[in-house]
Structure 1
Amino acid sequence: MKALRCPVVELRQYTLHSGQRDVLLDLFDREFVESQEAVGATVLGQFRDLDDPDRFVWLRGFEDMTRRAEALESFYGGLVWKAHREVANATMIDSDDVLLLRPASAHGGFPVPEGARPAPGEPASSPPSLVLATIWYGHGVFDAPFVEFFEQRVRPVLAETGCEPLAYLQSEHAPNTFPALPVRTGEEAFVWFARFTGERSVDDHQNRLQHSERWREEVLPTLSQRWARAPQHLRLAPTERSVLR
């Protein structure tokens, strides 16, 4: 699997007004994908949160922080956003829950998608799937030894239980180069993503992990010492136009 560009990634979680998620998703998939990529952003994925009907989650990537500033300035100052921002903003209660991330290692970035994204209104060529995003919040920096621990100790156990991480990223602490869009600061996050065929396969993985002796004895003790609070799990259903699906 090819390694992806996007050394900078935003994980964006929006809280929406009740019943407005499909309004925003339809608008987003129709108007906000190609228009962002035309100015230098990469729309990695857009999702329905299966556990919260009023949450929209999406991922956006950039070549670096300077290019991020240029791309966001061009998009939010451009004609497409100006034409549709009132409708988009009317769906939202909060759009400031944003983690700024970078690949945790040379192998941690998202893979290059295979196949073209379907045009608006066209069905996806690939079957539907479910993306599980797991967010670990740390007491301190997830340093190189921790990344090595993840790659050499955590990933094999995840694979044994039916889960192969697609990408794994950690907090990017570079100054926010586009202050008009806030990001969360003062946190250490390690986020990994995996793709499943559906809810049943996620449940099967989590059940097998819970009963894994290696997980309980070799992995979890080290992990639990690093966690500042309970992990967050996002079960995400990709839209038809999400490249992660």
Structure 2
Amino acid sequence: MNSLRVMNDIVELRQYTLHPGARDTLVDLFEREFVTGQEEVGITVGGRFRDLDDPDRFVWLRSFPDMATRERALHAFYGGSVWRAHRERANATMIDSDDVLLLRGPGLAAPSTTGPVVATICHPLDPAAFADHFERRLRPALTAAGTPAQAVHRSEHAENTFPALPIRTDADVLLWFTAGRAPLLPDLSTRLKSAPQQLRLGPVGAAAPEA
């Protein structure tokens, strides 16, 4: 499936900076309470990850069919009993929870294996031109190298109708995920505002983070 042409969901990629040593506390609470709590109000909870290069960072995704559903579902969850019961403990683990990209794409389900996942985030100078370059040149090259791009997403610029949770308005990105090793990328300096960011992520179901 061509993820750039079939952009079906509103997706949040959320990166949390946590107090030192607090990540396992948040992961345990998240898995026990917040996955089913969100799904019960219509939120699709996707992959949840430990950042393998930062012991104090937790990364996860959730998705909605459209912005109207997002607004209703977020009001229901954050105004509901599950969040009220556990918010103080969850918030106590966090230094910052505002690094949130609002995207269009297929989302990314929780991986069925414990191997690493890499998220590659690009900030194009010309988003439309880079999307075309990605499809014509970069995606085939990644596939040929054995690191095919999965779950490709682009920024969604709709108004944030749930302002209690900020989203980044300074970013216009194209990002994708790769199973296993980080993809080797060609020189993209003439097409991007900055070097691509690659997040090495370990699914929370892994027995231990991989080095």
Q: Is TM > 0.5 for Structure 1 vs Structure 2?
A: yes
Check 1:65–1:181 CA distance in 2 against 1; reply closer, same or farther (3 A cut): same
In structure 1, the partner of 2:192 is: 227
Q: Which runs of 5+ in 2 are unaligned?
A: 207-211
Contact 2:61 2:107 in 1 (8 A): no
More helix by share: 1
Residues 113-141 of structure 1 deviation map (CA, whole Å, 9 limit, x = unaligned): 6xxx8xxxxxx9x431111001111234x
Calculate percent identity across the aligned residue pairs.
Answer: 56
Q: Does 1:173 align with 2:154?
A: no
Q: How far has the Cα of 1:168 moved from its partner?
A: 0.9
**For 1:178 and 1:6, how far apart are their aligned partners in 2?**
20
Identify the match of residue 240 of structure 1 among 171, 196, 205: 205
Q: Does 1:84 align with 2:82?
A: no
**For 2:40 and 2:68, how far apart are their aligned partners in 1?**
16
- Which moved further from structure 2: 186-195 or 45-54? 186-195
In the TM superposition, what are the counterparts of 1:1-245 in structure 2 within 5 Å? 7-103=9-105, 109-110=106-107, 126-140=112-126, 142-143=127-128, 145-196=129-180, 202=181, 206=183, 209=184, 215=186, 220=187, 223-240=188-205
Secondary structure at 2:190's aligned position in 1?
Answer: helix
Contact 1:40 1:71 in 2 (8 A): yes
Residues 172-194 of structure 1 deviation map (CA, whole Å, 9 limit, x = unaligned): 11000100000000321111111
Matched AA of 2:189: S
Q: What RMSD over aligned residues (CA atoms) do the two structures have, in Å? A: 2.3
Contact 2:7 2:104 in 1 (8 A): no
Contact 1:14 1:56 in 2 (8 A): yes
**For 2:202 and 2:91, how far apart are their aligned partners in 1?**
22
Aligned residues: 204
Contact 1:110 1:166 in 2 (8 A): no
Q: Which runs of 5+ in 1 are unaligned?
A: 104-108, 118-123, 197-201
In structure 2, the partner of 1:120 is: none
**For 1:41 and 1:52, how far apart are their aligned partners in 2?**
27
Matched AA of 1:90: A
Residues 212-231 of structure 1 deviation map (CA, whole Å, 9 limit, x = unaligned): xxx4xxxx3xx322211121
Q: How far has the Cα of 1:6 moved from its partner?
A: 5.4
TM (normalized to structure 2)? 0.89
Secondary structure at 1:224's aligned position in 2?
Answer: coil
Contact 2:103 2:153 in 1 (8 A): yes
Q: Which structure has the larger Rg?
A: 1
**For 1:138 and 1:152, how far apart are their aligned partners in 2?**
16
TM (normalized to structure 1)? 0.77
**For 1:167 and 1:5, how far apart are their aligned partners in 2?**
10
Check 1:96–1:110 CA distance in 2 against 1; reply closer, same or farther (3 A cut): closer
**For 1:94 and 1:6, how far apart are their aligned partners in 2?**
29
Matched AA of 2:115: S
**For 2:60 and 2:44, how far apart are their aligned partners in 1?**
11
Contact 2:131 2:174 in 1 (8 A): no
**For 2:131 and 2:195, how far apart are their aligned partners in 1?**
19
4+ runs deviating over 4 angstroms: 3-6
